[in-house]
Amino acid sequence: MTPDRAPLWDLSQQSRANLLMALLPMLLSGVLIVAAFLPARGDLAQDEAMWNPPYQTLLTTLVRYAALEVSADTPAVTLDARRREVLSLLGDSQRYPDSDGDDQQTTEPQSDEQEAARRLKAVAPLIERRTPADTQRALQIVLELDERSRAQQDQARLTLKRNLQALESTMLLAGLLSGLLGSILILTALNRAGHERHTRERNESQQREALGMAAHELRRPMQALLLATDALRHTDNARAREKLLRSIEGAAEQMTRRSELERLDAMYVQMTALPVLTDLTALVARHENMRVRVRRPSGPLLWMVDATQVQQIVENLVENAIKYSDGPITVTLDPPTALWGPVIRVTDHGPGLHPSLHEQAFQPGTRLATHVPGRGLGLPLARRLAQVNRAEVTLHDTPGGGLDVRVAFHLPD
């Protein structure tokens, strides 16, 4: 069985919106052109405005007849032939509309064509009377009709010319608007594509950064796990084995917690803290060993922090200090003051760092000493973790050489 395919017209709301936007220039052009063409079409469709009877032929024939009629030398046969020609042309006038005929009276206004047809019907009886005076009256009627017809045609031509010029201008405007809208739509599409590409690249960069930080954070518990496992193989002391087993369990728990792929973004990119009342004295005391000396208050120092994240901060700072110096490391926990909350300081006596490079050291991937292994993620991660715990990480010179890294917590609001 093949899966059902969606019909072509089954478009998403965004697709329909994009389709309408794409059709907008064409629709606008069509509306403008139709709106501009309607007046010209109306002029072309009005019979009485443009297509008047051919009075010129009738007028010319009638003038010749009148001239022959007043001439004494005109043969009767020729005069009769001219008269029949005039009457024949007048007979053609019967095809033009006449609303109610000559004898029927009406109170409704008559159109120009109806009025012309009514007056034209009065010409034939005048010609039939065969007198020069009546012929002159008929000639006057036809002359007036011809002049009015010419005036109407001139006005119609002028109106049609104006409408055609308006149509030409409108078509030009429609073309310009279509081009402008098309350019706007293309620029909008390009900007949208650029924004989507930028967002995609930023997300990919954040994912790579999260994976790098996750690998960076997994290295310490992995090393602790390997060291404890190796020590466990070489000791028979029950208490020592119990301590090593607890160390292995702790390292395994850290590895599990720090390697949850579905939480990488929350743990290393868009971080959030889950603060609880934590004893910072006990937290820093865990880092004391042969190289690391811990100075702390004699009693508990309770503060609202995310204990796991603060533990990661101290681990990263201590690891950096060990890598960049050969001497002893001091971890100091200072109690709150009037300006700041507790301050954790990690001090080494290594080569230190020039003040101009302090801020650069917090950029991900920055390694200021190529001979030291690492990926340049310790300080950036420590700063991010500190910020979500309402703390600031700053670098200071140590008297006599070295670096003093301080994690200062803000006072509660």
Per-residue pLDDT of the chain (413 residues; tens, 9 = 90+): 444 554 545 556 666 666 677 677 777 777 777 776 776 666 655 554 444 555 778 888 888 888 888 887 888 888 888 888 888 888 765 444 443 444 444 445 556 677 777 888 888 888 888 888 888 888 888 888 888 888 888 887 888 788 778 777 777 777 777 777 777 877 788 788 888 888 777 766 666 666 666 665 666 667 667 666 767 776 777 777 777 677 777 667 666 655 554 455 555 566 788 999 999 999 999 988 888 999 999 999 999 999 988 998 998 899 888 888 888 999 999 999 999 999 999 999 888 888 888 888 888 766 655 445 555 677 888 898 899 999 999 999 888 888 999 999 999 98
Q: How far apart are CA 96 and CA 108, in angstroms?
A: 19
Q: Which amino acid is at 405?
A: V
DSSP 390: T
Record the pTM.
0.47
Count of CB atoms situated within 10 Å of the CB of 361: 19
User: 21 Cβ partners below 8 Å, 6+ apart?
Assistant: 185
Which residue shows structure tokens 């020609």? Answer: 85
Q: How far apart are CA 37 and CA 170, in angstroms?
A: 9
Count of CB atoms situated within 10 Å of the CB of 255: 17
Q: How far apart are CA 385 and CA 313, in angstroms?
A: 7
User: 288 Cβ partners below 8 Å, 6+ apart?
Assistant: 294, 331
Is-contact 317 407, C-beta < 8 A? yes
Q: What angle do CA 225, 227, 232 make, to 5 degrees?
A: 95
Q: How far apart are CA 347 and CA 292, in angstroms?
A: 10
**HEC secondary structure over 4-43:** CCCCCCCCCHHHHHHHHHHHHHHHHHHHHHHHHHHHHHHH
DSSP 127: H
